[in-house]
C-alpha cells in the first residue's frame, strides 16, 4: 500500500527542520573555518533517502519542497535540483529491490554514485543554458570533495532519518503498510 500524504507530513516537517538547521550551521560555520567556496549539499542526502526509503506517489512534490527550502540558503536554482532529483528517484525506483544498505561502505558507495548521476544531470542542464563548460569545470572542482564528505556522512545521516521516519532496518516506508 502506498503512503497517504497525511502519513508523511509530520516526519517530513521534521526532516525540513533538520535541513534548515544543517544549512544554517553549514552557512555560518564553514566560512568561519575559512572554507568559503564549499557547501555540503544535505538536500541531496535527504532526496536520496526519500528515494531509497519512501514508496509514495507524492515523491516529486516532496523533492520540490526540499529544493525550495534548500534554495533559501543557496544561489543555485531549485529547478535544476528538482529535475535532477526526480530523475534520480526514477532510477532508484527501478533499482530499489537490488539496493540493500547492509553495510556503511555500501551506503557510501551508492550515495557517491547517485551524487555523480545528480552532478551529470545538473551539469548537462547548465551546459544547455550557458553553452560553455567553464562554469561546469569550476563546479566539478568543488563537487569532488563535497560529494566525498557527503558520502562519508550518509550512513549516519540515513540512520538519523530512519529514526525520524520510523523505518525499520532495511525497510521501505509504504511498501507493505
Dihedral sign computed on CA atoms, order 150, 151, 152, 156: positive
- Three-state DSSP string of 55-73: CCCCHHHHHHHHHHHHHCC
163/177 Cα distance (integer angstroms): 17
What burial class does residue 15 get, using C-beta atoms within 10 Å of its C-beta: 0-12 exposed, 13-18 middle, 19+ buried? buried
- The label of the residue with cell 560529494 reads 147
Q: H or E element: which one contains 146?
A: helix 134-165
Q: Render each residue's pLDDT in the chain as its tens digit; 177 residues.
A: 367 788 899 999 999 999 999 999 999 998 999 888 888 999 999 999 999 988 888 999 999 999 999 999 887 778 999 999 999 999 999 998 888 777 899 999 999 999 999 999 999 999 999 999 999 999 999 999 999 999 999 999 999 999 999 887 666 655 554
CA distance 69 to 54: 20
Amino acid at each position: 500500500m502506498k503512503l497517504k500524504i497525511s502519513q508523511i507530513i509530520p516526519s517530513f516537517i521534521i526532516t525540513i527542520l533538520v535541513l534548515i538547521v544543517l544549512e544554517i550551521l553549514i552557512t555560518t560555520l564553514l566560512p568561519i573555518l575559512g572554507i568559503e567556496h564549499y557547501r555540503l549539499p544535505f538536500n541531496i542526502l535527504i532526496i536520496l533517502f526519500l528515494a531509497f526509503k519512501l514508496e509514495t506517489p507524492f515523491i516529486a512534490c516532496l523533492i520540490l519542497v526540499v529544493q525550495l527550502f534548500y534554495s533559501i540558503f543557496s544561489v543555485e536554482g531549485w529547478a535544476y535540483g528538482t529535475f535532477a532529483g526526480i530523475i534520480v528517484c526514477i532510477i532508484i525506483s527501478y533499482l530499489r529491490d537490488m539496493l540493500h544498505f547492509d553495510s556503511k561502505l555500501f551506503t557510501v558507495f551508492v550515495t557517491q554514485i547517485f551524487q555523480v548521476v545528480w552532478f551529470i544531470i545538473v551539469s548537462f542542464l547548465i551546459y544547455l543554458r550557458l553553452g560553455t563548460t567553464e562554469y561546469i569545470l569550476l563546479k566539478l572542482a568543488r563537487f569532488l570533495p563535497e560529494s566525498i564528505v557527503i558520502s562519508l556522512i550518509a550512513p549516519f545521516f540515513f540512520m538519523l532519518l530512519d529514526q525520524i521516519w520510523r523505518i525499520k532496518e532495511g525497510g521501505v516506508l509504504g511498501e507493505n503498510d
